[in-house]
Amino acid sequence: MMGQITDKLGRPIRDLRISVTDRCNFRCTYCMPKEIFGDDYVFLPKDELLSFEELVRLAKIYAKLGVKKIRITGGEPLLRRDLPHLIEALNNIEGIEDIGLTTNGLLLKKHGQALYDAGLRRINVSLDALDESFEAINGRGITANQILEQIDYAVSIGLKVKMNMVIQKGLNDDQMIPMVQYFKDKKITLRFIEFMDVGNDNGWNFDKVISKKEMIEVISEAFDIQPEAPKYFGEVAKYYTHDNGAKLGFITSVSESFCSTCTRARLSSDGKIFGCLFATDGYDIKSFMRSGVSDEALETKLTQLWNNRSDRYSDERTEETVKNRKKKKINMNYIGG
């Protein structure tokens, strides 16, 4: 057992994000806009995805190297057939202490109980508005009430739910206060995410970003919130507490980067390892595995990849870097959030 490994900037590896599919049943404007991902868009064939056996093999080795937490993402991960089998297998890996899943929530009533029975206890659900603007944002005419019903169901079966809301100036910033009020009353943690330049197709620019500072100015006029101290090294969100104990978080990749404490490796749906959400290319671990290498060789390769990691894109982001890298980054549906 090699134990904890660190990268070139001294950051330990603690988290593994696994994208299990590039498919999604939404067409959100900031991730998979329908103008690009139309009805004739060709997604990855099944044999291009890593099998559950391959994913578990990688997760076991990453656990030996220091990974404690796994997050399942997509695309929309609930579209991956037999996903509870993967959750159960990951739960049985020595050293893995926490498994979460990020979803748009639409299929929770269909799959939630099976996922819970397999050992899943935490989910993050994306919801960007409570009014009709959500229907336009998701590109499929799904209403907010449809998702809220699914969330109530998830809570009823014992899943711990956090909500994610991507804020874009002029699109859904008027929904911040209604969202805060709704989830405060439910005592469900709501996290605001600054609009990020992820992928190549979301039309990002600085003018569409509302910073954490601006959000707090608006929210503080309506609610009494108090800052919390970080709970652990590498915690992404900056949390505040309401007067009733409910939590409110901010993910500040644009205005207050957290590269210096990033402990996440990312495994894309097509089998590549990335050291950063904003990476331009990744290492094809799928081909390496399928060439018949031993677990020892695979462990050595994963160690080398992390030891050589020096990504800190959000630290370095400027108008110029965004312009130069705009058409190079991996798309969100392959690498997850």
CA separation for the pair 219, 250 (Å, rounded): 12
Q: Which pLDDT score is estimated for 260? A: 84
In tens, the pLDDT along 101-157 reads 999 999 999 999 999 999 999 999 999 999 999 998 898 999 999 999 999 999 999
Q: Which pLDDT score is estimated for 276? A: 87
Mean pLDDT of 209-225: 92
In tens, the pLDDT along 170-214 reads 889 999 999 999 999 999 999 998 886 655 444 445 677 888 889
pTM of the entire predicted model = 0.88
* Binding site, annotated residues for GTP: 17, 71, 102, 162, 264-266
Q: In sequence order, what are the beta bridge partners of 167?
A: 194
Q: Which pLDDT score is estimated for 201? A: 47
Q: What is the CATH number of domain 15-334?
A: 3.20.20.70
- Identify the band that residue 321 occupies on the pLDDT scale cut at 50, 70 and 90: low
* Binding site, annotated residues for S-adenosyl-L-methionine: 30, 75, 126, 196
What is the bridge-based pairing of β-strands 283-284 and 247-251? unpaired
Q: Which pLDDT score is estimated for 202? A: 44
* Binding site, annotated residues for [4Fe-4S] cluster: 24, 28, 31, 259, 262, 276
Contact (Cβ atoms closer than 8 angstroms) between residue 19 and residue 269: yes
* Binding site, annotated residues: 17, 24, 28, 30-31, 71, 75, 102, 126, 162, 196, 259, 262, 264-266, 276
Q: What is the residue extent of each domain of the chain?
A: 15-334
Q: Which pLDDT score is estimated for 171? A: 86
Q: Which pLDDT score is estimated for 235? A: 78
Q: Which pLDDT score is estimated for 233? A: 77
CA separation for the pair 60, 90 (Å, rounded): 8
Contact (Cβ atoms closer than 8 angstroms) between residue 98 and residue 69: yes
**Range in 15-24, 53-62, 118-127, 316-325 the model is least confident about:** 316-325
